[in-house]
Amino acid sequence: ATTLKAAATADGRYFGTALTDGNLGDSTLLGVADAQFDMVTPGNEMKWDTTEPSNGSYNFGPGDQIVSYASGHGMRVRGHNLVWQNQLPSWVSSLPSNQVQGAMEAHITAEVTHYKGEVYSWDVVNEPFNGDGSFVADAFYNAMGSGYIADALRTAHAADPNAKLYLNDYNIEGENAKSDAMYNLAQSLLAQGVPLGGIGFESHFIVGQVPSDMQANMQRFANLGLDVAVTELDDRIQLPASSAALQQQATDYGNVVKDCLAVSRCVGVSQWGVGDPDSWIPGTFPGWGAATMFDQNYQPKPSFYAALAALGGS
């Protein structure tokens, strides 16, 4: 196989990317996306601030464009996301706390019902933990305590019993306080019969810092009976990127792919954006970038060839 998606398919996996509506007019970007990826995560279009900007008023147009593009190009969709403290419209955080649960359940039911049968999975709750393993004290936690997570999963499952339901977070790729908290939560949810199907490991890495225990860490979640997925992979480099850094990035991408392939319940890897022009990194971490497998001109980088080789392609 000469493409990421073909090589991943041969391994029983997918290889995905994030796409935004703004990407849908860029033929160079889409040429690479169509050739290489068979799973799409909408970058922003399914988040609460877009889908329900005011209470009870829904806007699925932007998300529908991504779904329509994906289904027309043989790509499945990871729904992202239903409940998150960011890109949350202010009307939600301004609600009296006794109305937050109702608003959350209504939002989940409306969005999951709208996309029923069209998404492979949902990131039901995104980034619920702080680095020390405590819960983020957002509107949902403040109103409902940690029980909001079980309630969100049950509500999503009722609306689309066939979608795989995920919790998704960053800095949980290795074993640490945050991934321990996620593990304990997952174990407790499963013990209560909550319909949790998978854990998403965002994997926003710094070059040379992929945790050496990533495979072991994903395996412990898989051993609970859960799918695991690398959901938002990128690997940032200080600019200008040296050839040594690009080589280290290739090693990193290869290692992440190998870690996934070594865990039978690891269903696939998604990169966050198609190429370096699409990456959130330079905007958020000034001086850093070059974080994807395709350069400013969408030419494949050493990291692309390393990921492809790790999948068994060439």
> Rounded to an integer, what distance in angstroms lies between the CA atom of residue 217 and that of residue 271?
20
Other beta carbons less than 10 A from residue 104's beta carbon: 23
Establish if 90 lies at the interface with ligand G3I (CB under 6 A).
Answer: no
Least separation in angstroms between residue 80's CB and ligand G3I is 6
Check 52, 127, 173, 202 and give the catalytic one: 127
Site for ligand G3I in 157-216 (CB under 6 A): 202
User: String of b and e for 118-140 (b: at least 16 CB within 10 Å)?
Assistant: bbbbbbbbbbbbeeebebeebbb
Establish if 85 lies at the interface with ligand G3I (CB under 6 A).
Answer: no
Tell me whether residue 175 is one of the annotated catalytic residues: no
> Rounded to an integer, what distance in angstroms lies between the CA atom of residue 94 and that of residue 205?
34
Q: Which of 28, 68, 71, 86 binds ligand G3I (CB under 6 A)?
A: 86
SS3 readout for 245-313? HHHHHHHHHHHHHHHHHCCCCEEEEEECCCCHHHCCHHHHCCCEECCCCECCCCCECHHHHHHHHHHCC
Other beta carbons less than 10 A from residue 38's beta carbon: 23
Q: Indicate the residue among 20 and 247 with the shorter CB distance to ligand G3I.
A: 20
Q: Indicate the residue among 16 and 43 with the shorter CB distance to ligand G3I.
A: 43
Q: Indicate the residue among 160 and 232 with the shorter CB distance to ligand G3I.
A: 232
Question: Which amino acid is located at 267 in the chain?
Answer: V
Q: Indicate the residue among 249 and 271 with the shorter CB distance to ligand G3I.
A: 271
Least separation in angstroms between residue 230's CB and ligand G3I is 13
Q: Which of 43, 268, 275, 313 binds ligand G3I (CB under 6 A)?
A: 43
Site for ligand G3I in 117-136 (CB under 6 A): 126
Site string for ligand G3I, 45-64 (x = CB under 6 A): --------------------
C-alpha triplet 292, 230, 93: angle, nearest 5°:
95
Check 45, 52, 105, 232 and give the catalytic one: 232
Least separation in angstroms between residue 241's CB and ligand G3I is 20
> Rounded to an integer, what distance in angstroms lies between the CA atom of residue 98 and that of residue 96?
6
Question: Which amino acid is located at 163 in the chain?
Answer: A
Establish if 105 lies at the interface with ligand G3I (CB under 6 A).
Answer: no
φ, ψ for residue 295, nearest 5 deg: -80, -170
Site string for ligand G3I, 225-264 (x = CB under 6 A): -------x--------------------------------
Q: Indicate the residue among 3 and 50 with the shorter CB distance to ligand G3I.
A: 50
CB 83 within 8 A of CB 135: no
> Rounded to an integer, what distance in angstroms lies between the CA atom of residue 273 and that of residue 207?
17
Tell me whether residue 232 is one of the annotated catalytic residues: yes
Site for ligand G3I in 271-310 (CB under 6 A): 280
Residues interacting with ligand G3I, by CB under 6 A? Answer: 43-44, 86-87, 126, 202, 232, 280
**Residues known to be catalytic:** 127, 232
